[in-house]
Amino acid sequence: MARPKKSDAIDIQDHAVTEVIALLRDGTHTFSLNTIAKKIGCSAPALYAYFSSKDDLLDHVRQRAFQDLLAQKQSRYETEAPSEPIQSLRNGGHYFISFAQENPNLYRLIFTPDHNSKAADINVAETLLKPLINGVRNAQPHALKQGIEAESLAYLMWNAVHGAILMAMENNGTFSWGQAYEVVDTAMTLLFPTAPK
């Protein structure tokens, strides 16, 4: 196949990233650029014209998946009633667990990439913590102890949820996805005991 024109570059990049996301969602976690090139209908050299390596392609996939996750999370926040801050926090934790349960390969790629990532332009934890901190501030009137910084509570909640997800992913019969959801519910009860039931 002839080398694609520059005007076709965006399409090739987009199709390649979309194909890898589909493979990861389907449970495939090993692939080559040759495989991706065949699936999207171009030659391997054509694909290499836009991705220097498999790691480079994975960086593009990681950025797309992260932006999609942010968009879905933002959409959820916009549709929830601000008058129910505790339920919003609970739903946020449940959402991350369900995303990880349904898309374990994508979750790992976003949060714990094992390839040589050079995607330094995204700070996953910091980007996600900003809305979480705002959510905690809205819920602080119901907090266990007043005076604790919202940032500290947000970090605690993030680590609890992320830790529960990783434990469920590495499940050897000792920790289930159901228990991961219970971690969120327990954290909400302990941190915000005066919230309306």
Q: Which of 106, 109, 99 is nearest to 177 (CA)?
A: 99
Banded pLDDT at 82 (limits 50, 70, 90): low
The pTM of the full predicted model, rounded to 2 decimals, is 0.84
DSSP 49: T
Residues 96-109: pLDDT tens digits?
999 999 999 999 99
pLDDT at position 196, please?
64
* Cα within 13 Å of Cα(80), Cβ side: 18
Banded pLDDT at 10 (limits 50, 70, 90): very low
Compute the distance between CA of residue 20 and CA of residue 29 in angstroms, rounded to an integer: 9
Mean pLDDT of 122-129: 75
pLDDT at position 20, please?
96
Contact yes or no for 84/54 (Cβ under 8 A) = no
Pick the CATH number of 1-51 from 1.10.3210, 3.40.50, 1.10.10, 1.10.3470: 1.10.10
pLDDT at position 186, please?
93
Percent of the chain exceeding pLDDT 70 equals 86
Domain spans, the chain: 1-51, 66-191
pLDDT mean across residues, the chain:
85
pLDDT at position 197, please?
60
Pick the CATH number of 66-191 from 1.20.1070, 1.10.357, 3.40.50, 1.10.3470: 1.10.357
- Strand segments, DSSP code E, in 57-103 are none
